[in-house]
Structure 1
Amino acid sequence: MITYSYVEEYVRQWRNGDITLNKRRIKLIELIERDILTSEDMYFDEEQIESYIQFTEKYYFPLTLTQKFKTCFIFLYYNDGSLVFDEHLDYEGRGGGKTGRISTLANYFISELHGINNYNVSVVANSEKQAKMSFTEVFNTIDKDDRLKSHFHHKKALIESRITKSEFQYHTSNANTKDGLRDGCVIFEEIHQYENSSTVDVFTSGLGKVRNPRIFYVGSDGYVREGFLDKLLERADNLLDGSVSIRDDGLFPFMCCLDEEEEMHNQAMWQKANSQFHPPLTSYAKTLLRTVMKQYNKLEHNPDGYEEFVTKRMNLPKVDLEKSVTSWTKIKATNQSYDLDVLKKRECIGCLDYASVRDFVSAGLLFLKNDNYFIPKELTHSFICKPFADKHYAYSKDKAENNNKKDHRKFAPIREWENDGLLTVKDIETMDPYLIVEWFVIKRKEGWNIKKIVGDNFKMDVLKPIFIENGFEVEVIRNPDAASGLLAPRIEIAFENEQVIFGDNPLMRWYTNNVLVKRLPNGNKVYRKKEEVKRKTDGFMMFLYGVWASRDLEDYDVSDTLDLLDALHF
């Protein structure tokens, strides 16, 4: 039988209801009580545990009970001196103190207190900024303390113990350019962004050349599914469920997360996702709690932040990371009335999507008025190549009375929309760029004040000279995905607040309903198609580009300004 005071106290607080744990941590306690505390061939190294705690609290910050609890299992050994846990998963909501903790571990491991020569430590992250975070914290701590300076050389990219010659350095996770290092410990940050194990494999290939090698996996959840993190979590769950023994898999799985999404609305449950919120709260935790509470309160008016809050703060990944741009209810709410005579007094953006020359092209005029985006039914138009319409929407068959209406027509009633003047089917194989430019020329002749034309860079090398030749200013969006990432919050809020106005335009509703919102590994949102061929999104992308350029629109009636000028006598 073995035990340790911090382990006993942690379990006692949970059993007494002083702290609230999620199901995974409860399973961890059960595993510890079943397989560790009853063991006769394991021991906690008291000297190392207390030495690390004293070192950290003297030079860095006070440790919480949770952090002391986890420390015990870093220095848990078999009687033969080998580690019980040579891998540690620290999976916790954003703000849980994970990065600060690995800073102290890295500094301790290379020191003579740890007592292993050449025990090199590497921290690996996707970005240099993240990778340098712990290194910079250790560097600055040494730099301001003369006693630490006497124990460590600290340089811009390398910190070395004067006694053990152990080194601490940081790396970015480009697995293609790094060879295995001679490390004693490797710490992986931002593991939620790893799509596979290639980075981990490269940086851990040099382990085993010094005794007691360790790997730490650190991070909150993210937006890469079926990647490295998901597989690691599955491995951890297998340990907690008892289907794998810790003697066969030396991973210490410390996992903080909500058990159910609804728990996010109960502040008392937030400690399930973040151990900093276990009472009594430190000054750091009180500040963090205020920050998280503000973010939670903003969700009512900023629904775009919902997934980020649940995924990163509550550490509970949203399953529907790919979803519609908005609900069908909000799409239908775009059917609002407007006054074309009022809009005609205002300037507008000419926007177009020319994603393919063989199927759809969409064009429109977008207006901004009182934070509402107007793209009126009468001022949008799509052009379709007839071969594409025939192949995918049975366009020519619509002429027959016995057309199978439950198939292609119901999916996209092209002929019906053409009869309503929403689109034109052209009997051509590829789209004529002059056709698109002419549509805008006609609108300008009708008196619409088009400030500029905006579209993405596809085919703009052909279109731009024609537009300029016809006297239009042109803006080209070089990276539509980057624009989507920047605009996604504004687009989502606009739909939520019913500030997008198409009028009674079933074609624009169809375009919008076909949009798939996808999260990239960096958290940015991009717009894709729910189905690659038939479910077109050209009209929505045209609208998106118009919103991008709407920053240049003045929110007032141009004609009122002209009338005022006419009334002045010079």
Structure 2
Amino acid sequence: MIVNNYVQEYINLWKSGKIKLNKERILLIEYLEEHVLSREDLYFNDEMIENCIRFGEKWYFPLQPFQRFLIAFVFLFFKQTNRVFYRKHFWMKGRGAGKNGLISVVTHFLISSLHGIREYHISIVANSEDQAKTSFDESYNVIGRSGPLKAMFRRTKTQITSKKTDAVLKFRTSNGETKDGLRDGAVVFDEIHQYESNKDVRVHISGLGKKQPPREFYIGTDGYVRDGFLDKMKEKAMKVLKGEARPNALFPFICKLDDESEIDDQDNWEKSNPMLSYPRSQYAQGLFDTILEEYEDLEDDPSNREEFMTKRMNLPITDLERSVAKWEEIEATNQPFPELSGKDCIGVIDFASIRDFAACGLLFRHEGKYPFITHSFARKEFVDKYYSYSKKHDAEMAGKKKFAPIREWEEQGHLTVLDEATINPKHVVDYFIEKSKYYNIKKIIGDNFRMEVLKEPLEKAGFEVEVIRNPKAIHSLLAPRVELGFANGLFIFGDNPLMRWYTNNVLVKIKKDGNKEYEKKEPIRRKTDGFQAFVCGLYRIDEISEFNFDDAFDALESLNF
């Protein structure tokens, strides 16, 4: 049985209920007690641990129990060979948990005479130079503020060198040109969520082992790249914690919420950010206040929820495919239309195929809200097949009728069913010609595929037509406006169950780069044409003025001069 005061301190804080841990850290403690602390062939270099902690607290900042705990395992060795037990350290915490600050302390100490290993060079690697310099710049500035440290280290804007050990601390970008032949003692990989593969990592660690003892540090917060390097690291971490890999394959310190539902209890936030555990330092209290403010802002701006969950709570919402709005928000579009006669509007068109559905409509601006008048066309053969349009009394088809009551929506005037081989573009053109008698249609918008057959007849009818070449590119651009609009009741669809159905069928797909696209929850029966048309209108709605010139002229004529 091996013991270290700082390791035991942290374990006791959890067992006594003074701090909250997520499942991964609970597994870590159980795994350490069973597979590591119970061994007789290991030892903590307590002198080195004390020196590192004192170095950090003298020149940097007071260290928290979890930081002292992490430092202890950097200096865990085999007794016989004096090799480090953990070569790889994986620290994953929510934004603001001080990962860069702690790595600054550790790397600065490792090149110092207190560590005492000559030419123990260290590289800090990240995708961008700015991120790679974060910890380097902190050490650079600490040296600049201290006369004694200036006497012990030489510093330039590109490297810090220990005068006694000739050990060098550098920063590098992961996509640099030449990395072969490096003779580092340790390498730090920062913001590992951005790495799509281990290709660059392999290059940087290829020189490790030439200088003993070799160490690798992988630090960061979760991100949006799925099935990349970070996900592989997390899989490896879980294998270690479950005893399915060799005990020293990785030291995994993972801090995150266990479940999305825990977000609403502020006491759970320390699961993702151990800096928030009580008693809080002045820095930790300021950090908590910032996170609380961001959390409260989500009520008015829910578009930031994914970012908040991913970066602050270190828990990417694993189901990245979700509805565009809550059903209550979709229901809230059932507002009466204001008086829109004579007002400017944007005409919109969307249809996935001229063989099933087509949606067209008019989008307005009115007193800060966005009224949307829409009508759809559907082919009879398609709605017969998938929604049992013609089979009124067939009990076997009841499920299809309930899924989308096409005939009911047609009777309400939201839809026209056409018994045609394909939807004739003339119906769409006629719709806009009719509506232009009552509203001022500034232009008609659709994407490149849909407008191929409609652009010429619409222009012949006198309409200005705009073609969106890449409609998916505007989805991410408009996502904040869409989410805020639903959250604040800014969209007016009237009592239109078809439009509510379209909207509820939309699936928000978050891509690897964090951008959003609007797709279908199911490719055939769940149509989204009306919603996609609505989004096209939002793309150009700022070109519409809320000012009604007809009303202004009427008011002038009524004045008695």
Scaled to the shorter chain, the TM-score interval is: 0.7 to 0.9
1:173-227 Cα offsets, whole Å, 9 max, x none, are 69xx786562433333333444554454454344333322222222233445555
For the residue of structure 2 that corresponds to 1:349, the secondary structure is: strand
Indicate conservation of the 8 Å contact 2:222/2:315, yes or no: yes
Q: Which residue of 2 aligns with 1:155?
A: 157
After superposition, the Cα gap between the structure-2 partners of 1:508 and 1:126, relative to the gap in structure 1 and judged at 3 Å, is: farther
Identity across the alignment (%)? 46
After superposition, the Cα gap between the structure-2 partners of 1:423 and 1:292, relative to the gap in structure 1 and judged at 3 Å, is: same
| Count of aligned residue pairs for this structure pair | 555
Q: Which residue of 2 aligns with 1:65?
A: 65
After superposition, the Cα gap between the structure-2 partners of 1:119 and 1:413, relative to the gap in structure 1 and judged at 3 Å, is: farther
Cα offset, 1:85, TM superposition:
0.8
Does residue 422 (structure 1) correspond to residue 415 (structure 2)? The answer is yes
For the residue of structure 2 that corresponds to 1:133, the secondary structure is: helix
Q: 2:375 aligns with which of 375, 381, 400?
A: 381
For the residue of structure 1 that corresponds to 2:485, the secondary structure is: helix
Stretch deviating more after TM superposition (453-462 or 254-263): 453-462
Ranges in structure 1 where 5+ consecutive residues have no aligned partner: none
Does residue 351 (structure 1) correspond to residue 348 (structure 2)? The answer is yes
Indicate conservation of the 8 Å contact 1:223/1:321, yes or no: no
Paired amino acid for 2:534: F
Indicate conservation of the 8 Å contact 1:395/1:414, yes or no: no
Determine the C-alpha separation between the residues in 1 that align with 2:450 and 2:546.
Answer: 31
Cα offset, 1:540, TM superposition:
0.8
- Map residues 293-304 of structure 1 onto 2, 5 A cutoff: 293-304=292-303
After superposition, the Cα gap between the structure-2 partners of 1:124 and 1:548, relative to the gap in structure 1 and judged at 3 Å, is: farther
Paired amino acid for 1:520: K
For the residue of structure 2 that corresponds to 1:209, the secondary structure is: coil
For the residue of structure 2 that corresponds to 1:542, the secondary structure is: helix
After superposition, the Cα gap between the structure-2 partners of 1:421 and 1:263, relative to the gap in structure 1 and judged at 3 Å, is: closer
Determine the C-alpha separation between the residues in 2 that align with 1:200 and 1:292.
Answer: 32
Determine the C-alpha separation between the residues in 1 that align with 2:83 and 2:432.
Answer: 75
Cα offset, 1:275, TM superposition:
0.9
Q: Which residue of 1 aligns with 2:285?
A: 286
Determine the C-alpha separation between the residues in 2 that align with 1:513 and 1:101.
Answer: 46
For the residue of structure 2 that corresponds to 1:368, the secondary structure is: coil
- Map residues 217-296 of structure 1 onto 2, 5 A cutoff: 217-246=218-247, 249-296=248-295
Cα offset, 1:115, TM superposition:
3.8
Q: Which residue of 1 aligns with 2:189?
A: 188
Cα offset, 1:63, TM superposition:
1.9
After superposition, the Cα gap between the structure-2 partners of 1:144 and 1:465, relative to the gap in structure 1 and judged at 3 Å, is: farther
Determine the C-alpha separation between the residues in 2 that align with 1:328 and 1:42.
Answer: 57
Paired amino acid for 1:440: F
Cα offset, 1:67, TM superposition:
0.8
Determine the C-alpha separation between the residues in 2 that align with 1:40 and 1:254.
Answer: 23
- Map residues 433-512 of structure 1 onto 2, 5 A cutoff: 439-444=431-436, 446-456=437-447, 458=449, 480-512=471-503
For the residue of structure 1 that corresponds to 2:90, the secondary structure is: strand
Determine the C-alpha separation between the residues in 1 that align with 2:496 and 2:12.
Answer: 63
After superposition, the Cα gap between the structure-2 partners of 1:475 and 1:187, relative to the gap in structure 1 and judged at 3 Å, is: farther
- Map residues 87-236 of structure 1 onto 2, 5 A cutoff: 87-142=88-143, 147-148=149-150, 151-155=153-157, 163-164=165-166, 166-172=168-174, 182=182, 183-194=184-195, 196-236=197-237
Stretch deviating more after TM superposition (419-428 or 131-140): 419-428
After superposition, the Cα gap between the structure-2 partners of 1:82 and 1:303, relative to the gap in structure 1 and judged at 3 Å, is: same
Stretch deviating more after TM superposition (177-186 or 3-12): 177-186
Determine the C-alpha separation between the residues in 2 that align with 1:421 and 1:26.
Answer: 56
Determine the C-alpha separation between the residues in 2 that align with 1:149 and 1:464.
Answer: 75
Determine the C-alpha separation between the residues in 2 that align with 1:461 and 1:144.
Answer: 67
After superposition, the Cα gap between the structure-2 partners of 1:465 and 1:513, relative to the gap in structure 1 and judged at 3 Å, is: same
Cα offset, 1:72, TM superposition:
0.8
For the residue of structure 1 that corresponds to 2:364, the secondary structure is: strand
Q: TM-score, normalised by structure 2?
A: 0.84
1:86-108 Cα offsets, whole Å, 9 max, x none, are 11121222211112222333444
1:366-402 Cα offsets, whole Å, 9 max, x none, are 12223332112xxx23456x5xx74686389956778
Indicate conservation of the 8 Å contact 2:391/2:397, yes or no: no
Q: Which residue of 2 aligns with 1:554?
A: 545
Cα offset, 1:276, TM superposition:
0.6
Stretch deviating more after TM superposition (289-298 or 493-502): 493-502
Cα offset, 1:139, TM superposition:
4.4
Indicate conservation of the 8 Å contact 1:195/1:227, yes or no: yes
Stretch deviating more after TM superposition (457-466 or 318-327): 457-466
For the residue of structure 2 that corresponds to 1:535, the secondary structure is: coil
Indicate conservation of the 8 Å contact 1:375/1:501, yes or no: yes
Determine the C-alpha separation between the residues in 1 that align with 2:355 and 2:166.
Answer: 67
1:484-515 Cα offsets, whole Å, 9 max, x none, are 23432332343344432222333322321221
After superposition, the Cα gap between the structure-2 partners of 1:185 and 1:566, relative to the gap in structure 1 and judged at 3 Å, is: farther
Indicate conservation of the 8 Å contact 1:143/1:154, yes or no: no
For the residue of structure 1 that corresponds to 2:279, the secondary structure is: coil
1:63-99 Cα offsets, whole Å, 9 max, x none, are 2222111101011111212111111121222211112
Indicate conservation of the 8 Å contact 1:192/1:224, yes or no: yes
- Map residues 302-341 of structure 1 onto 2, 5 A cutoff: 302-339=301-338
Indicate conservation of the 8 Å contact 2:153/2:160, yes or no: no
1:23-81 Cα offsets, whole Å, 9 max, x none, are 43233233333443343222222343234334433443332222111101011111212
Determine the C-alpha separation between the residues in 1 that align with 2:187 and 2:114.
Answer: 19
Determine the C-alpha separation between the residues in 2 that align with 1:97 and 1:132.
Answer: 15
Determine the C-alpha separation between the residues in 1 that align with 2:521 and 2:220.
Answer: 31
Structure 1 vs Structure 2 CA RMSD: 3.8
Q: TM-score, normalised by structure 1?
A: 0.82
Determine the C-alpha separation between the residues in 2 that align with 1:266 and 1:256.
Answer: 16
Stretch deviating more after TM superposition (512-521 or 143-152): 143-152
Determine the C-alpha separation between the residues in 2 that align with 1:563 and 1:503.
Answer: 28
- Map residues 28-47 of structure 1 onto 2, 5 A cutoff: 28-47=28-47
Indicate conservation of the 8 Å contact 1:362/1:539, yes or no: yes
Indicate conservation of the 8 Å contact 2:51/2:114, yes or no: yes
Q: 2:385 aligns with which of 394, 407, 425?
A: 394
